[in-house]
A and B are shown apart, each in its own frame.
Chain A
């Protein structure tokens, strides 16, 4: 079944001082996550204080852009159906996101995906994922 009908318009992201570097990087088609220099763990969504050890010694790192689908659900009761998913980044943390440019009916848990950047309503690029 072809699902290449109308594509959902991604709403503009909601940017604040803490998330500004993430969206500045997204504008250059780079996906960032946070690494904690104190405990060595990666986390997502990114915070200034590490959610594991509460250190403020966190740093932005660029993700490889590789991942696998942890779970997914395609909303059928929308003017333009779309897929909500958690993707497990190659770097470890899971990211709540969308899967795009795909046949919704062929998506599977464990499927390898890669990050792509799509323009949102007001133009800002948003990181989403697509099957390899």
Chain B
């Protein structure tokens, strides 16, 4: 069985806040859900499937369903693969809808890492904790090791990585809600303070409060609504870890999730008109672009240079909302905003300055967890119907 054509994304809402000292995390989940329902033209009592991940406070879907008053639920899924969870949730919602388990699914994300930061405490019972908890793994040095190895193997440079941030900043200038709206240059990126070698401050995504929500429906429900039809046509997911010590930092799980999604969708990388590519760091984007097949392995540095990711300029318009690098990385998890901007592009509702012409097929891809240690890859391909 395939999910191709079995579900549609009919509601998408990005909470406008980037700094929310006056709101609770459940409140932002609920406000995002309300926004997505309004976008779709549905009400909360229409929802019969609910999807959330590790950012959902309390006992995940149980606490949040009770808080939001979701009383018609027949299907729950709280699969947590870090920031890529919400891309995977769309695929899981499509599977549940195809199997008849629900027909209107809600996905939510919310968090406040800017105004209420909580340290990412090591989980003492994690299987690796006994051997790795002394080493001081944080996000930036895990991704830094990936960048260092990529530079060593393929000659990738800091200037090439900087082009990814430059492209994101060109898009963010048009997004009134973006956390950072100033256009930056390659020089500004490579001259920004070193965080964890070889990643500079401007190679890193923003830290923002916020949230988002999606509504995924059956084809029958979708066709009864008044919004443009965004059809789910393919998805893939894969975890990647250290392989018992045969660790290879040069590629991500996109090498596996991508081909599964492309095969299901029946399209090739060259068919993708717009791509939302997870951008926790510049190196994340570069590796995923290679692993998804947009360019040859090791040639990502050349591919992303000279504005090739800028809408209207380059071959692969990416993250036209400004992405995690400039716009928003709510809850330190960027997956849901990746799907939201892809939906805007397919509907023709992106900002006119960044809207891709004839955007009929789009991709959203995420890397959750930690690229240099253990991560989850999720690829989603959507089509304007």
Contacts and interface: CB of A to CB of B under 8 A. Distances in A.
Interface string B131-149: 1111111101110111111
Interface residues of A, number: 48
B197 A52 contact: no
Interface residues of B, number: 41
5 contacts: A13-B130, A33-B245, A72-B148, A85-B145, A94-B247
B196 A96 contact: no
Contacts of A19: 130-131
A96 B131 CA distance: 8
A104 B242 CA distance: 25
Nearest to B200: A76
B132 A96 contact: yes
B263 interface: no
A37 to B, nearest CB: 15
Contacts of B313: none
A74 B197 contact: yes
B330 to A, nearest CB: 22
A43 B133 contact: no
A42 interface: yes
A40 to B, nearest CB: 13
A95 B141 CA distance: 15
Contacts of B242: 45, 94, 96
Interface of B: 122, 124-125, 127-138, 140-142, 144-149, 152, 193-199, 242-247, 249, 372-373
Contacts of B196: 73-77, 84
Most buried by A among B194, B243, B244, B245: B245
A86 B142 CA distance: 10
B250 to A, nearest CB: 9
Interface of A: 8, 10-16, 18-19, 22-23, 33, 41-47, 50-52, 70-78, 82, 84-86, 89, 92-98, 104, 109, 120, 126
The 10 closest A-B pairs by CB, nearest first: A93-B245, A73-B144, A19-B130, A51-B244, A45-B131, A44-B245, A43-B244, A71-B149, A71-B145, A84-B141
A84 B134 contact: no
A45 B329 CA distance: 32
Given A74-B141, A97-B135, 13 more contacts: A11-B134, A13-B133, A14-B122, A16-B125, A45-B127, A46-B131, A51-B243, A71-B152, A72-B145, A74-B196, A76-B197, A96-B128, A96-B132
Given A70-B149, A77-B196, A109-B149, A96 B124 contact: no
Given A93-B244, A94-B246, A75 B130 contact: no
Contacts of A72: 145, 148, 197
Given A13-B133, A18-B130, A75-B141, A109 B148 contact: yes
